[in-house]
Amino acid sequence: MTIVVTGATGNVGRPLVTELAAAGAHVRAVTRTPETAEFPHGVEVASSAVDALAGASALFLNSRALGDQLADVVAQAQRAGVSKLVTLSAINADDDFARQPSRFRGDRNKEVEQLAVDSGLVWVSLRPTVFATNFAGMWSAQIHAGDVVAGPYAAASSAPIVESDIAAVAARALLTDELVGRKIALTGPQAYTNSELVEVIGDVLDRPLRYQEVPPDVVRQRFIGLGLGAEFADAYIALLAETVDKPALVTHEVEKIVGRPALTFAHWVSEHRDLFTK
């Protein structure tokens, strides 16, 4: 079995390549930097998804990694005889695009899922919630600087998922037919408010961290100043506003599929404490 993984150096792609290689699959890892990428022994490295498709039986689709090539890669997979597509979508793929901030970073969650469903091939769509890594990107600089994390909506709720859990489910979807035809909502094992997430980080780091709510307009200007753009800022704020005082969905699908509990946010912070320390 030959499996092509796009976005192979990303937060999901890298652990997925490792999982598949450990299971004995022949993996072709697609990355924009093949000359510097490091993967387990035996993994083929390719710079083009189209070039990697010959003889492949399954394809993992990361829409951000493929960009404008997404539809063409799916069409080429059909012609190349690929039999299964597994997509990285998102738990909010059906929501209004104005509440999907990742779209403004290049994700095409709705489109990648629909291309797979319409392809005529066997498909599985993974719909994870917010990645644990996102909180390092949003908060690590503030934690480096002090004990206060400032942001919107202290009571906004999420159930962050550790990316290696997404990879574990993706590996099962690619290696077996157990999940065929499913759109699978994947979450972490517990819902937290923003205030509680900061407390978890503080507990792991043994620091008195706290979340300070600031007006959405202040956050909007900060995002624009960081170069993320007004559309991203507005979508992020709208997404959080929808979850205030409403506990995030927790699905437990990770445990059902891989046979062990989903990793906790505290576990992820402990494993990546260097992201939050100077």
Residues 6+ apart with CB under 8 A from 128: 88, 90, 91, 161, 166, 186, 187
Residue 159: enclosing H or E segment and its boundaries? none
d(CA 133, CA 129): 12
| pLDDT for 102 | 95
d(CA 213, CA 150): 6
pLDDT by residue, tens only, the chain of 278 residues = 899 999 999 999 999 999 999 999 999 999 998 888 999 999 999 999 999 999 999 999 999 999 999 999 999 999 999 999 999 999 999 999 999 999 999 999 999 999 999 999 999 999 999 999 999 999 999 999 999 999 999 999 999 999 999 999 999 999 999 999 999 999 999 999 999 999 999 999 999 999 999 999 999 998 898 888 999 999 999 999 999 989 999 999 999 999 999 999 999 999 999 999 97
d(CA 120, CA 114): 11
d(CA 69, CA 62): 11
Which sequence spans correspond to the domains of the chain? 2-130+161-187+248-262
Q: Under CATH, what is the fold of the domain 2-130+161-187+248-262?
A: Rossmann fold (3.40.50)
| pLDDT for 77 | 98
